[in-house]
Amino acid sequence: MLLAGKKALIMGVANKRSIAWGIAEAFRREGAELAFTYASERLRENVEELVKTLPDAERIPLLPCDVAQDAQVTELFRAVEERWGRLDVLVHSIAFAPREELTGAFRDTTRQGFQTALDVSAYSLVAVTRAAAPLFERAGGGSVMTLTYDAVERVVPSYNVMAIAKAALEAEVRYLAADLGPNNVRVNAISAGPIKTLAASAVKGISRLQKSVEDLAPLRRNVTQEEVGDVAVFLASPLSRCLTGATLYADCGFNVVGKGHEV
Ligand code: NAD
């Protein structure tokens, strides 16, 4: 078991389709001890029901954290410290933009929509990594991972302000990696191909995107939640110990294909 003895905090489960849930199941399979957060009271029950399906569910901490609230971030890591005393792995699988920002022309992005998207989807990685740093120190190091999407280098219709948030997020991964590397904390991103989740359903045209991946990706199929979970296991485990500041593409190779050119 690749993650035996590791304590992992999973942020970003909303329902069973969440990428974070795929990661949690893969971590569990590899022997990690898990804790979960939920973003709001409305989502608490969902996460609770899912956690109940895991072995030793009663021992799994389930903690509130709206990442837009500094006080909740502070309280989360205080609670993790009280419970575990240390942390080995932090999964940040969180993004949000107001729905109206994910349709129509990019130039119509509002200041408020921009601020919200960047705050929740990008700044939050800085906030939670900083708060987790003392707990990683007690563990002698750590692995942080976040989820991004390849709309950073290329224009994906309707992804709009979320692409800007992901560009910021990917740059943060490199800066945090440089900051925390001397403390043996690694920070990486997984750039996942399109998967039908709650967040993805807010982006117009996800089905068309999935069809393009099936037609054009070298592996001729879409990536699954389970496969992203396996990449996350690699990033959490010592197998990736020399890797930091990287963005790994879990997309069946779609990112290498020249757009407009069928292979
Ligand atoms: P999801 O809707 O299941 O997960 C998004 C999570 O963000 C939810 O759990 C939600 O509660 C959380 N969240 C939103 N606002 C929050 C806040 N203020 N505080 C705390 N949590 C908050 O969808 P998903 O597709 O699993 O998304 C997870 C990550 O994967 C996101 O960063 C997304 O951009 C990224 N991603 C998704 C795809 C895809 O196609 N689904 C592809 C690449 C990257």
What does the pLDDT read at residue 204?
82
User: pLDDT of 2-24, one tens digit each?
Assistant: 999 999 999 999 999 999 999 99
Q: Which residues are catalytic?
A: 149, 159
- 3 state DSSP class of 186: strand
| Mean pLDDT to the nearest integer, 144-169 | 96
Q: Which domains does the chain have, with CATH numbers?
A: 7-252 (3.40.50.720)
Q: How confident is the model at residue 261 (pLDDT cuts 50, 70, 90)?
A: low
Distances 207 to 15, 99, 161, 201, 218 between C-alpha atoms, Å: 20, 17, 20, 9, 19
Asked which of 78-82, 106-110, 209-213 is least confident by mean pLDDT, the reply is: 209-213
Distances (CA, A) of 220 to 106, 211, 224, 242: 30, 10, 13, 30
Q: In testing the pocket of ligand 1, which one of 43, 197, 213, 222 has its CB within 8 Å of the most ligand atoms?
A: 197
Q: What is the percent of the chain with per-residue pLDDT over 70, rounded to a whole number? A: 98
Q: Does 259 have pLDDT greater than 80? A: no
Flag whether pLDDT at 262 surpasses 70: no
Rounded Cα–Cα distance for residues 227 and 86 (Å): 28
238 C-alpha vs ligand 1 centroid, how far in Å?
Answer: 26
Ligand 1 pocket check for 19: Cβ under 6 Å: yes
SS3 label, residue 231: helix
Residue 202 is predicted with a pLDDT of: 86
Q: What is the pLDDT of residue 151?
A: 95
Residue indicated by tokens 């933009």: 97
Give me the mean pLDDT over the 238-255 stretch. 98
User: What gap in Å lies between CA 57 and CA 218, rounded to an integer?
Assistant: 39
Ligand 1 pocket, 192 CB below 6 A? yes
**Is the CB–ligand 1 distance for residue 194 below 6 Å?**
yes
**E strand intervals along the chain:** 7-11, 33-38, 62-64, 89-92, 142-148, 185-192, 247-250
